[in-house]
């Protein structure tokens, strides 16, 4: 029971009063105030100002002392209940900033003070009834308290096709467009007008989808009338208003969807509109979409997402149409991933049955759904499986499932990926069991790589202690360095023979900002090799301390134009200033201005062009990139410049440089 919980109120009040008198912070504050009052008649104006400045801090000490006394009476489980049931996840940051006690309490509860503004998260909150309506005051507080990058930066493309640097946002960065889209989703026209008309923030290519997700016709009308829907590359394109329909379908906002289609010309729609309606479980929306003339198009993703959400009613209706909605193996795989056995049974019982393949067993193992696996394999024509099924079970630490898979006749196949995934997840017991089988599960150097990357020293030691030891290569040191796992790196290099390393170890340490790792690597005899990649990866992540140290060595770590370009890409102006302020300065070329314009870093672009001589650029190229990514502030500034110079671009083809793609997972631009 909490202290004082069973005491009479009068007695408890006396105890509380005594506690207040005994609190050291409160006693110190009162003493300071008395001394200041006695001296106030004889002190100068400057001293009076000092008192006025110091007084609020004494009050803060008073309040925090009372918080410590009162709030600590609540047991941890009650704090957990208060936070879980009454606090919106996106308000954790605001609560933590209120006082030290709240900040520490959230850490005790294991809460991550991260604002999640992703559409899936906000839609789930709204569906669960936990989506609050933030006031104008909240938005004003956020704008006054936090720093936002101008414009909007978004990721697009396909992994393996689109270069990594085009798909990746600045880590932890929040742009003006993020908050504007949140206001659009919330549906407050007052807040939206304030952001657009008073703050001067501009809608962006994702605003259309957020407006549809929010479902406010008033917001949609405002954006449409002000020319802020269908924006692409800084220009209005009617084709891109299709995201309004897709967003409205995802949110289940039938009236908003009808409004969009009633415009002249109607807002376009496409297969994703039906897919989103199915994913959200909105059968009424899907019926409306397909009842139009011509109907909204659909494809196999409609059934796949309905199965993933367990929306059997949508699946039945979609397949009852003439012609039925198409489907493929992903419907069964998605049902298995989420453990929707009833959906999977229906999919396989209809005539003809929905096709399935190895992905059904893979996803069931990944989700930990043993009953789904057993049913799938018990059918007259068992669902096929492959080695990926065991790998998925190992990755998630599903020992029961993995054992069941290997006890079948014949057993589910496995390969080195099973050991690799176990090491990646830190599942030592699974790794030991897999290697104890007869014959043992195979492994290769990626097992050590993933153990090092995850910081799992126990796994790495065990793997290397086996007879024969698990193989390793230089990539083990690369990922240990990138993760800042110095003890793993020391262990790897302390073996006989030591684990090999190369220049990637240094630039991975620099990329992760792990100066202690980099210092240790360079202090060895012989030192770990390094090249230009160390500097430009430090600059890319804004690790100025790493960059300064690397250049202070004798001889200094080499650098080239990529150092300035990567600093500009991520908006790290201080790193760029340092690089150019050296004697001789770090070289740069027009890629510095190019990436600054692409990412919307106006202050950095201004500074680069203000130097003597200015950083080379292609005016046309920079403007084109700013336009493509919707950075109106960059376009306006470029148009105001009188300098018409245009640098000639020469691309490097040095295949042996640190710019090339390598196993550390980074790409050049």
**Whether residue 250 sits in one domain with residue 285:** no
Domain boundary pick from 119, 149, 179: 119
Same structural domain, 377 and 393: no
Tell me whether residue 554 is in a domain.
Answer: no
Confidence category of residue 642, pLDDT binned at 50, 70, 90:
confident
Residue 192 has which token pair?
């939206």
300/240 same-domain check: no
Does 140 reside within a domain? Answer: yes
Q: Do 107 and 146 have their domain in common? A: no
Q: How far apart are CA 476 and CA 490, in angstroms?
A: 12
Q: Are residues 236 and 295 in the same domain?
A: no
- 351 in a domain, yes or no? yes
How many C-beta neighbours within 10 Å does residue 304 have?
Answer: 22
**136 in the same domain as 56:** no
pLDDT at residue 131 in the model: 73
Note the pLDDT tens digit of each residue in 609-640: 999 999 999 999 999 999 888 788 999 999 99
Highest average pLDDT, of 228-232, 261-265, 416-420, comes from 416-420
* pLDDT over 50 (residue 416): yes
- Does 71 fall in a domain? yes
Show which of 381, 401, 425 is a domain's final residue: 381
pLDDT at 418: 98
- What DSSP state is assigned to residue 195? I
C-alpha to C-alpha distance for 641 and 619, rounded to whole angstroms: 9
For the chain, give the percent of residues with pLDDT over 90.
65
Using an 8 Å Cβ cutoff, are 222 and 189 in contact? yes
CA distances in angstroms from 178 to 149, 174, 217, 414, 665, listed in the order given? 10, 6, 20, 44, 27
Contact 484, 514 (CB under 8 A): yes
- Is 262 in the same domain as 274? no
Q: What is the pLDDT of residue 249?
A: 97
**Where does residue 545 rank: exposed (0-12), middle (13-18), buried (19+ CB within 10 A)?**
exposed
b/e for 500-535, b at 16 or more Cβ within 10 A?
ebbbbbbbbbbbbbbbebbebbbeeeeebebbbbbb
188 within some domain: yes
Are residues 138 and 69 located together in one domain of the fold? no
Position 105 in a domain: yes
Question: Helices in 109-159 by DSSP H: which ranges?
Answer: 119-128, 136-145
Rounded CA-CA distance 329/355 in Å is 5
142-198 residue pLDDT tens: 888 877 777 676 544 333 333 333 334 445 567 888 899 999 999 999 999 999 999
Q: How does residue 264 score in pLDDT terms, banded at 50, 70 and 90?
A: very high
- CB neighbours of 488 closer than 8 A, spacing ≥ 6? 452, 455, 457, 460, 480
- 209 and 254 inside one domain: yes
Residue 248 shares a structural domain with residue 356 = no
- Residue 85 placed within a domain: yes
Digit-coded pLDDT (tens) for 302-354:
999 999 999 999 999 999 999 999 999 999 999 999 999 999 999 999 999 99
Q: What is the pLDDT of residue 119?
A: 75
Range of lowest pLDDT (95-99, 403-407, 456-460):
95-99
Mean pLDDT within 14-19: 42
Dihedral in degrees, nearest 10, Cα atoms 643, 649, 654, 658: 40
What is the spatial distance between Cα 500 and Cα 538, in angstroms, rounded to a whole number? Answer: 23
Long-range contacts of 113-116 (CB under 8 A, 24+ apart): 115/90, 115/174, 116/89, 116/90
CATH number assigned to the domain comprising residue 189: 1.25.40.20
**Statement to judge: residues 207 and 338 lie in one domain:** no
With respect to residue 469, please indicate whether it lies within any of the assigned structural domains.
no
Q: Which residues pair with 235 in a beta bridge?
A: 232
Domain count, the chain: 4
> Which range (5-9, 176-180, 209-213, 240-244) has the least confidence?
5-9
pLDDT of residue 669: 37
Give the domain-ending residue among 381, 406, 424.
Answer: 381
Residues 279 and 361 in one domain: yes
Q: What is the mean pLDDT of residues 254-280?
A: 96
Which range marks the domain in which residue 140 is found? 126-269
Whole-structure pTM over 0.85, yes or no? Answer: no
The alpha carbon dihedral of 478, 479, 483, 486 has a sign of negative
């Amino acid at each position: 029971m909490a202290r004082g919980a069973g005491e009479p109120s009068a007695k408890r009040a006396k105890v509380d009063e005594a506690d207040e008198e005994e609190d050291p912070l409160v006693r110190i504050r009162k003493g300071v105030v008395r001394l200041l009052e006695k001296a106030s008649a004889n002190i100068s104006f400057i001293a009076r100002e000092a008192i006025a400045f110091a007084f609020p801090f004494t009050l803060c000490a008073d309040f925090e002392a009372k918080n410590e006394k009162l709030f600590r009476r609540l047991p941890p489980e009650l704090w957990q209940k208060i936070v879980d049931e009454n606090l919106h996840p996106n308000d954790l940051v605001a609560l933590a900033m209120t006082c030290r006690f709240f900040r520490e309490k959230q850490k005790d509860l294991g809460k991550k003070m991260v604002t999640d503004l992703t559409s899936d998260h906000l839609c789930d909150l709204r569906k669960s009834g936990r989506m609050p309506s933030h006031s104008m005051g909240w938005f004003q507080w956020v704008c006054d308290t936090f720093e936002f990058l101008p414009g909007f930066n978004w990721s697009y493309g396909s992994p393996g096709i689109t270069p990594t640097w085009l798909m990746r946002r600045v880590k932890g960065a929040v742009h003006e467009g993020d908050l504007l889209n949140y206001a659009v989703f919330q549906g407050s026209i007052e807040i939206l007008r304030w952001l657009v008309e008073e703050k001067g923030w501009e809608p962006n290519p994702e605003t259309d989808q957020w407006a549809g997700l929010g479902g406010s016709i008033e917001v949609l009308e405002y954006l449409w009338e002000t020319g802020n829907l269908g924006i692409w590359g800084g220009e209005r394109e009617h084709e891109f208003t299709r995201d309004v329909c897709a967003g409205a379908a995802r949110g289940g906002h039938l009236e908003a969807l009808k409004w969009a289609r009633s415009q002249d010309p109607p807002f376009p729609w496409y297969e994703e509109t039906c897919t989103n309606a199915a994913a959200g479980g909105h059968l009424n929306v899907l019926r409306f979409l397909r009842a139009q003339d011509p109907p909204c198009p659909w494809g196999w993703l409609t059934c796949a997402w309905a199965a993933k959400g367990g929306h059997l009613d949508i699946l039945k209706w979609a397949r009852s149409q003439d012609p039925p909605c198409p489907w493929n193996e992903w419907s069964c795989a998605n049902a298995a991933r989420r453990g929707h056995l009833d959906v999977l049974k229906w999919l396989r019982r209809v005539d003809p049955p929905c096709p399935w393949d190895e992905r059904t067993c893979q996803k069931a193992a990944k989700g930990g759904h043993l009953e789904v696996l057993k049913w799938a394999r018990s059918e007259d024509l068992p669902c096929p499986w492959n080695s990926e099924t065991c790998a998925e079970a190992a990755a998630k630490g599903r020992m029961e499932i993995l054992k069941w898979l290997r006890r079948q006749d014949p057993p589910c196949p496995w390969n080195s990926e099973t050991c690799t995934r176990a090491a990646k997840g830190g599942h030592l017991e699974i790794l030991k069991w897999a290697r104890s089988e007869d014959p043992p599960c195979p492994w290769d150097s990626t097992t050590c790589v993933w153990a090092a990357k995850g910081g799992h020293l126990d796994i790495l030691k065990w793997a290397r202690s086996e007879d024969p030891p698990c193989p390793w290569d230089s990539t083990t040191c690369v990922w240990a360095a990138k993760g800042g796992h110095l003890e793993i790196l020391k262990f790897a290099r302390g073996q006989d023979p030591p684990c090999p390393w190369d220049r990637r170890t240094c630039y991975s340490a620099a990329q992760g900002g792990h100066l202690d790792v980099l210092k240790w690597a360079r202090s060895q005899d012989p030192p770990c090799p390094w090249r230009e990649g160390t500097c430009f990866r430090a600059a890319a992540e804004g690790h100025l301390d790493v960059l300064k140290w690397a250049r202070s060595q004798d001889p200094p770590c080499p650098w080239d134009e990529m150092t300035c370009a990567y600093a500009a890409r991520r908006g790290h102006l201080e790193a760029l200033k340092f690089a150019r302020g050296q004697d001789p300065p770090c070289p740069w070329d027009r890629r510095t201005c190019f990436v600054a314009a692409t990412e919307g870093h106006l202050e950095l672009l201004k500074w680069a062009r203000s130097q003597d001589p200015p950083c080379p650029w292609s005016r046309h190229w920079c403007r084109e990139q700013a336009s493509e990514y919707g950075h109106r502030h960059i376009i306006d500034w470029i148009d105001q410049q009188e300098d018409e110079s245009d640098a000639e671009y020469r691309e490097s083809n040095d295949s042996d440089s640190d710019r090339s793609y390598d196993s550390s997972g980074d790409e050049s631009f």
